[in-house]
Amino acid sequence: MSKTERSSRAESTQLPIHQHGEKLVGAVKGSQFLVVTGETGSGKTTQLPQFLYRAGLCRDGKIGVTQPRRVAAITVAQRVCQEMGVRLGVEVGYQVRFDDCTSKDTLIKYVTDGCMLREILADPNLTQYSVVILDEVHERSLNTDVLLGLLKKTSGGSRGRTVPLKVVVMSATLQTDKLSAFLGHCPVFTIPGRTYPVKELFCGRIGPKEMDSSVYVKEVVKVALDVHTNEASGDILVFLTGQNEIEKACDLLFEKAESIDYRYDVHDRTVEGLLVLPLYGSMPTDQQKQIFQPAPEGVRKCVVATNIAATSLTIDGIKYIVDSGFVKQLNHNSRVGLDILEVVPISKSEAQQRAGRAGRTSAGKCFRIYSKEFWENCMPEYTTPEIQRTSLTSVVLTLKCLGVHDVIRFPYLDRPEERFLLTALKQLYQYDAIDRKGNVTRLGKLMVEFPLPPGLTRALLQSAALGCEELMLPVAAMLSVENIFIRPGHPEKQKEAEIIHKELAASAGSSNDFLILLCIFEKCKASENPSSWCKDHWIHWRAVKSAFSVETQLREILFHLKRQKEFPQETFEGSSSELLRHCLCIGYFTNVARRSMGKAFCTMDGHGSTVHVHPSSSLFGQEAQLDWIIFHDVLVTSRVYVRTVCPIRYDWVKDLLPKLHEIDVYELSSVAREEVTDEEMAQWVKKTTDQHRPGEDVSRK
């Protein structure tokens, strides 16, 4: 055993949870469902699976631990391997979308909740598992909420199992009564542990009107530097919303810290330096490891992180929190009828959770860069569960494929609004994934096999039906990884990158952002040295490399499906660029817009919102020559922008467009609404049409 393994094992046995290991194992053995709660950092995620493993609960199957976040699944699996002194991917492993690091011998498996949902699709009784631990349930991610309902529902049946599946639900100290009641009043195990007081200060400079990211990034940096120079030793954890901001803040911190004269400027003379470290989801894992290592003697560590550091990951030694008050959240925007990743104020409970990270091992301080006014007027009490604010299309298809026909009466911990379920049904009908009666079609059963958003899956399946998947597979892969274009901070470099990106776009032959992605994928793949090709063209090699791997995986799924199931076949006459655009139309026809005036486009999905082409698109500036377009996603700032755009012909969508309006959602959900009277129905229809009046913003939060 190496030195780090020994020390990590020694550290972990200091955790309070270790005094309760036996009781905890007993509680798991004694009940089919168990709720476990305890302060973050008490050892739930890393220790409980090890206790169960040592107590022999793996004899009948694996222990699966779900995580809402991909990075958390990977990091925690690595940590547990280190503590147990085993190799990652053997006894202990992880599985996240497009990255499976497990083997047939894996006994403790950390998975994202999305992957677990896919496992249930393949094996509804989870026969490979003896225990499933749903972790971070307080986060209320869409997939975890659905898993909770499914595991509650299937608990009665034990087909294909020798012993019933044990389900442990873990949560920070929130809503445990509600969880227990939901699971038939199952026992609750509370891990005792102490926390230290955290002094919460409103630095008060950011008011409700100054929500701009450039403002709060600067403010956060300023406050963090104040803490560094004025406060006693102890590490700092800064909360921002995403990679760009975090990198900007780290650059600024680094730059400003250079000019500190440690002889005069700092209050605590033992502090002699600042180590600035970023932490966000798409960061390479070897860089993430650094976050957990203690800083050298005399150096203060300052971690600048997304919300991932709020509950999923615990960094020891944090004494000061600097909270921006914002988070990036996926919300359904009824103005455009799409899910949009937006920056919103956090809830008060979230702010308290963030503050709590400073009081784990000693008293701490939390500096909030916003004002008390902001707290009172802009921050909601609690975060709305994801199931009540995002698109349910994928989830409803999954449920339908699992035989849950009546998706409206499914046991939800918090029920989504019915109209959102109906919207999901409508979309599935538009994709031909369900029929008029709400039954899954042959196509729907194919669609559910792909870990992609429904529109993209539909386009991919269309390409397969036409035998041109070589065009769509790379596009689907490129759209599934982080942004591939490097945008350097330095103005001159930025210009250079822009020119090269424009040249790449021109070489694709026609202005179509999807085609450009395909072209970059192919060029890079064909080049002698792909990584230096990327460097020369200001393209993120890491992103393209993952796209290569994603493409292979999607290809494999398609290959298996083609062998197992009867596959639709269609024909289309046209060039390969037209073929690609036709497939995209089939997938994205719900995202179709027509130019209305000047540079503005109007969406055709019944919302009739006005959208503009984003400056990052190759079609930006050519709007006047366009008529019809489809788009992949939307960015809302002062305007609604569409990104990744493709020009299309009216001919290709002509027959599809009526589908956007014709169906009666009542018919699709007939199972659920049998006892509704005609009068009620008429009222309901009026209500939904009112709610969807074009241009009106009915926020889902």
Burial of 527 (0-12, 13-18, 19+ CB in 10 A): middle
Beta bridge partners of 131: 63, 166
Smaller CB separation from ligand ADP, 12 or 334:
12
Q: Which of residues 530-569 bind ligand ADP (CB under 6 A)?
A: none
- Span interacting with ligand ADP, options 39-47, 148-156, 217-225, 639-647, rule CB under 6 A: 39-47
* Comparison of 45 and 176: residue with beta carbon closer to Mg ion: 45
Burial 237-269 (b: 16+ CB within 10 A, else e): bbbbbbbebbebbbebbeebbeebeeeeebeee
Q: Choose the contact partner of 130 out of Mg ion, ligand ADP, none; CB within 5 to 8 A by kind.
A: none
| Residue 40 found at the interface with ligand ADP (CB under 6 A) | yes
Q: Which of 292, 320, 412, 514 binds ligand ADP (CB under 6 A)?
A: 292
Q: For residues 1-20, which are near ligand ADP according to CB under 6 A?
A: 12, 15
> Residue 484 Cβ, how far from ligand ADP at the closest point, in Å?
29
Pair type for strands 364-370 and 318-323: parallel
CB of residue 79 vs ligand ADP: minimum separation in angstroms?
A: 4
Return the range that interacts with ligand ADP (CB under 6 A); candidates 43-51, 551-559, 676-684, 691-699.
43-51
Choose the one of ligand ADP, Mg ion, none that binds residue 79, judging by a C-beta under 5 to 8 angstroms depending on kind: ligand ADP
- Which residue is listed with tokens 């350097």? 488
Provide, rounded to whole angstroms, the least separation between the CB of residue 135 and Mg ion. 6
| CB nearer to ligand ADP: pick between 119 and 139 | 139
Tell the smallest beta-carbon distance from residue 8 to ligand ADP (Å): 6
Provide the minimum distance between the beta carbon of 196 and ligand ADP in the complex, in angstroms, as a whole number. 14
**Dist CA 175 CA 178 (whole Å):** 5
Nearer to ligand ADP by C-beta: 41 or 364? 41
Asked if 96 and 281 touch (Cβ cutoff 8 Å), the reply is no
Task: Tell me: does residue 45 bind ligand ADP (CB under 6 A).
Answer: yes
Total binding residues for ligand ADP by CB under 6 A?
16
CB of 139 to ligand ADP, least distance (A): 12
Shortest CB 69 distance to ligand ADP, Å? 12
Reduced to 3 states (helix: H, G, I; strand: E, B; else coil), residue 465 is: helix
User: What residue has token string 């990091």?
Assistant: 75
Q: Pull the structure tokens for residue 528.
A: 């002698």
Write out the binding residues for ligand ADP, residues 61-120 only, by CB under 6 A: 75, 79
Expressed in angstroms, the distance from the first to the final Cα of the chain is 50
Q: By C-beta, is 10 or 685 nearer to ligand ADP?
A: 10
Answer positive or negative: Cα dihedral of 458, 461, 467, 471. positive
Looking at the Cβ atoms of 278 and 455, the one nearer to ligand ADP is: 278
Alpha helices in 388-529 (DSSP H): 393-401, 418-430, 442-447, 454-465, 469-479, 491-507, 513-526
- Residue 41 interacts, among Mg ion, ligand ADP, none and using kind-specific CB cut-offs from 5 to 8 Å, with ligand ADP
293-322 binders of ligand ADP (CB under 6 A): 314, 316
Closest separation between CB of residue 41 and Mg ion, Å? 8
Asked if 38 interacts with ligand ADP (CB under 6 A), we say yes
What tokens were used for 310?
Answer: 């709020």
Cβ proximity of 201 and 226 under 8 Å: no
Minimum CB distance to ligand ADP, residue 67 (Å) = 10
Nearer to ligand ADP among residue 12 and residue 383 (C-beta): 12
DSSP state of 537: T
* CB neighbour class for 602 (10 Å; exposed up to 12, middle 13-18, buried from 19): middle
Picked from Mg ion, ligand ADP, none, the partner binding residue 603 (CB below 5 to 8 A depending on kind) is: none
Q: Which residues contact 493 (CB under 8 A, 6 or more apart)?
A: none
Q: Name the residue number minimizing CB distance to Mg ion.
A: 45
Choosing among ligand ADP, Mg ion, none, which partner's interface includes residue 612 (Cβ < 5 to 8 Å by kind)?
A: none
Q: Please work out, in degrees rounded to the nearest 5, the angle formed at the alpha carbon of residue 49 by the alpha carbons of 46 and 53.
A: 135
User: Which residue stretch of 33-41, 125-133, 381-389, 552-560 sits at the interface with ligand ADP (rule: CB under 6 A)?
Assistant: 33-41
Least distance between Mg ion and beta carbon 44 (Å): 5
- Backbone torsions φ then ψ of 489, nearest 5 degrees: -75, -35
Picking from 475, 114, 89, 75, the residue whose alpha carbon sits closest to that of residue 281 is: 75
Interface with Mg ion in residues 36-55 (CB under 5 A) = 44-45
Contact 411, 379 (CB under 8 A): no
Identify the CA nearest to 585 among candidates 566, 570, 600.
570
**Based on CB atoms, which residue is closest to Mg ion, 66 or 423?**
66
**Helix axes 469-479 and 454-465, enclosed angle (nearest 10):** 160
Q: Which contiguous run of DSSP H or E holds residue 338?
A: strand 338-345
Select the binding partner of residue 588 from ligand ADP, Mg ion, none (C-beta < 5 to 8 A, by kind).
none
Cβ proximity to ligand ADP: between 14 and 637 the closer is 14
CB of 10 to ligand ADP, least distance (A): 12
CA gap 398, 394 in Å, rounded = 6
Look-up: residue for tokens 């012993």? 163
Q: According to CB under 6 A, which one of 20, 24, 46, 354 is a site residue for ligand ADP?
A: 46
Residue with tokens 């976050």: 291
- The CB-of-675 to ligand ADP minimum distance in angstroms stands at 45
At CA 325, angle to CA 320 and CA 326, rounded to 5?
Answer: 125
Residue 316, binding choice from ligand ADP, Mg ion, none, Cβ under 5 to 8 Å by partner class: ligand ADP
From the list Mg ion, ligand ADP, none, partner contacted by residue 47 (C-beta under 5 to 8 A by kind): ligand ADP
Which residues does 37 contact at the CB level (< 8 Å), separation at least 6? 170, 171, 172, 173, 176, 188, 189, 190, 191
Task: Say whether residue 47 binds ligand ADP (CB under 6 A).
Answer: yes
Provide, rounded to whole angstroms, the least separation between the CB of residue 32 and ligand ADP: 22
Are 318 and 518 in contact by the 8 Å Cβ rule? The answer is no
Task: Quickly count: other Cβ atoms within 10 Å of residue 152's Cβ.
Answer: 18
Instruction: Say how far apart CA 365 and CA 203 lie, in whole Å.
Output: 12
Closest by alpha carbon to 352, among 191, 173, 190? 173
Q: Choose among ligand ADP, Mg ion, none what residue 195 binds, the Cβ cut-off being 5 to 8 Å by kind.
A: none
Residue 457's binding partner out of Mg ion, ligand ADP, none, with CB under 5 to 8 Å set by partner kind:
none
Smallest gap, in angstroms, from Cβ of residue 72 to Mg ion? Answer: 8
Q: Looking at residue 337, what DSSP letter applies?
A: T
CB of 9 to ligand ADP, least distance (A): 11
Binding test (CB under 6 A) with ligand ADP, winner from 21, 24, 28, 42: 42
| CB nearer to ligand ADP: pick between 235 and 633 | 235
The least distance separating ligand ADP from the CB of residue 75, rounded to whole angstroms, comes to 5
How long, in residues, is the chain? Answer: 701
- Over the window 482 to 501, marking each residue x when it contacts Mg ion by CB under 5 A and - when it does not, the resulting string is --------------------
The footprint of Mg ion (CB under 5 A) covers: 44-45
- Judged by the rule CB under 6 A, the positions of this chain that interact with ligand ADP are 12, 15, 38, 40-47, 75, 79, 292, 314, 316
